[in-house]
A and B are shown apart, each in its own frame.
Chain A
Amino acid sequence: DTAVSQTPKYLVTQMGNDKSIKCEQNLGHDTMYWYKQDSKKFLKIMFSYNNKELIINETVPNRFSPKSPDKAHLNLHINSLELGDSAVYFCASSQEAYSGANVLTFGAGSRLTVL
């Protein structure tokens, strides 16, 4: 049973379209994250939710809108896709947000290609 699962695994779409990526964790964790990994493997945090509440919102364009319907789910919706949005998006979870020793558990990633 996959601990953090993301769908879809691959997404190919045209510029200007809107798309969503879904994430679910079955670990009972309180905190979930979205990270973006670019073509050079650089990994950057985008958002973090703790018990459905947004707690970290990095400098990300407004076209990106996360939603957490409950603490086990965190979705990412992207409007008006641009070429520069092409990347691998990773969902992750951790037991809680307020411990430095937190270990992140990652999903397998969703590769988005914008043509």
Chain B
Amino acid sequence: GDSVTQMEGPVTLSEEAFLTINCTYTATGYPSLFWYVQYPGEGLQLLLKATKADDKGSNKGFEATYRKETTSFHLEKGSVQVSDSAVYFCALSDRGTGGFKTIFGAGTRLFVKA
């Protein structure tokens, strides 16, 4: 079945450091890929998405490129802020028997220190 694997956390960085969170996937079809972010005490919210190979999703300084050849969708940000501290989830949406299903990775917690 489909699955998403992302790097284990927590990841601890100083403000203005470069961020990479690795994500790889396996899918039977041709999925769309997403990054969601969860701030403490809140539900997940979409950060960015890409729907086909070589697409780059970007939002709030975060970027990720859909790499079909390596089945990856790594999240990057050039300079993190304390306010970026949250849990980041990589996800894919692929066709199942009952319609499209979104499957999430285990989440990576990011701490950014001032």
Contact = CB atoms under 8 A, between A and B. Distances in A.
Q: Are both chains from one complex? A: yes
Contacts of B89: 43
A34 interface: no
A66 to B, nearest CB: 13
A100 B94 contact: yes
Given A41-B107, A55-B99, A102-B93, 9 more contacts: A44-B104, A45-B103, A56-B96, A56-B99, A56-B101, A100-B100, A103-B34, A103-B49, A109-B42
Interface of A: 4, 31, 40-45, 48, 50, 55-57, 90, 92, 97-109
Contacts of B11: none
B43 interface: yes
Nearest to B99: A97
Contacts of B41: 108
Given A41-B87, A43-B89, A103-B34, A98 B99 contact: yes
Interface of B is mostly: strand
B19 interface: no
B14 interface: no
Nearest to B41: A108
A98 B102 CA distance: 12
A99 to B, nearest CB: 6
Contacts of B95: 100
A48 B32 CA distance: 18
Contacts of B94: 100
A109 B42 CA distance: 7
9 contacts: A40-B106, A41-B109, A48-B99, A56-B99, A100-B94, A101-B32, A103-B34, A104-B46, A106-B45
